[in-house]
Amino acid sequence: MTVMRPHAEQLFADELAALAAEDDRPRPPGWRLSPQAVVTYLLGDGGKITPKYVGPRRLMEVAVATLATDRALLLLGVPGTAKTWVSEHLAAAVSGDSTLLVQGTAGTAEEAIRYGWNYARLLAEGPSPAALVSSPVMRAMETGGIARVEELTRVPSDVQDTLITILSEKTLPIPELGGEVQAVKGFNIIATANDRDRGVNELSSALRRRFNTVVLPVPATADEEVDIVARRVAQLGRSLELPEVPPALEEIRRVVTVFRELRTGLTEDGRTKLKSPTGTLSTAEAISVITNGWALAAHFGDGTLRPRDVASGIVGAVVKDPTTDPVVWREYLETVVRERDGWSAFYRAARDA
């Protein structure tokens, strides 16, 4: 029984080891690699180290410099711009452990961020360090690792504010025991937040000030997006152990084009304006559409990725709201897809989907 999705530090263990072996630059206290090596790990070096993030180099440099100066990092962006991905890889490269994770939801309570109690022991023996259940953040502070907080803006504001003392004084007071936990050098927090959703609790300005913000953008050009999608699809296909299917760059490009045009509301040649659907049509969704299509082609098709394999995936990604999106999709289909050369097979498949 093997694991579906190994952690970054397990999957890329050899890359990290190779970087650590050749790295002779100074390392900040508690770091496994030097900051320059972490940037190389993230961006790739064109050889053995594969790129984890494809985008402007300066964003990764700011992120790593932030962590190196003991400031907390906040990654912002619309869904699907690799915030969680980058956060995981940053934690893996810097501290070798990306599992100290707090998933922020609307129901996240203080215990998830500070500490909880083993109630049986608490009632039996009274408050004692043994009755304490530490949270990932507390464990990170004790060991000097990187804690990750996902979806910080979904967490209720009062729970968010527990991070303020942790970030400014680097201590976690435990009033019940009359003591505290002080962070060991190398501790830091990487938070991700979504600025597009409803039900978002804005960070208070006191908390916001403790973070350095990096906004991860949507891929700037179609070529960049195709590169990202192709790379990730290949990785996912290998890990899902899908049968070999020749890489269909044309299908990938088609999906990316459809998503970009609907996302920006303008066709690629800039001539026709389009309505945008309610969904975000991010790169991550494009990756899952292609992977889906690959699975369909391998198991139910003839082993080659064809337009009909991706058509239903695309329709599923575009039409999220059953009242308005079908109209948008149909308009796009009839005005743009139908007129395009070489897209007739896709048009027919999409019509039937």
> Which residue number, 168 or 344, has a Cβ lying nearer to other proteins?
168
Binding mask 152-191 vs other proteins (x if CB under 8 A, - otherwise)?
----------------------------------------
> Which residue number, 50 or 212, has a Cβ lying nearer to other proteins?
212
Q: How far is the CB of 64 from other proteins (least distance, A)?
A: 7
**Closest among 12, 149, 86 to 284, alpha carbons compared:** 86
**What are the start-end ranges of the H helices in the chain?**
8-11, 13-22, 35-43, 57-68, 83-95, 110-113, 119-125, 136-143, 157-160, 162-169, 205-209, 222-239, 249-264, 283-300, 307-318, 325-332, 344-352
> Which residue number, 205 or 221, has a Cβ lying nearer to other proteins?
205
Regarding 213 and contact with other proteins (CB under 8 A), the answer is yes
> Which residue number, 81 or 267, has a Cβ lying nearer to other proteins?
81
Binding mask 44-83 vs other proteins (x if CB under 8 A, - otherwise)?
--------------x--xx-xxx-xx-x--x-x-------
Q: Describe the chain by its helix, strand, coil percentages, rounded to 5.
A: 50, 10, 35
**Closest among 100, 85, 79, 209 to 148, alpha carbons compared:** 100
Indicate which single residue of 14, 24, 205, 244 sits in contact with other proteins (rule: CB under 8 A). 205
Q: How many residues bind other proteins (CB under 8 A)?
A: 21
> Looking at 121-129, 210-218, 227-235, 308-316, which segment touches other proteins (CB under 8 A)?
210-218
Q: How far is the CB of 111 from other proteins (least distance, A)?
A: 29
d(CA 71, CA 94): 14
Q: Look up tokens 């770091």; give the residue.
A: 31
d(CA 167, CA 212): 12
Contacting positions for other proteins (CB under 8 A): 35-36, 39, 58, 61-62, 64-66, 68-69, 71, 74, 76, 205, 208-209, 212-215
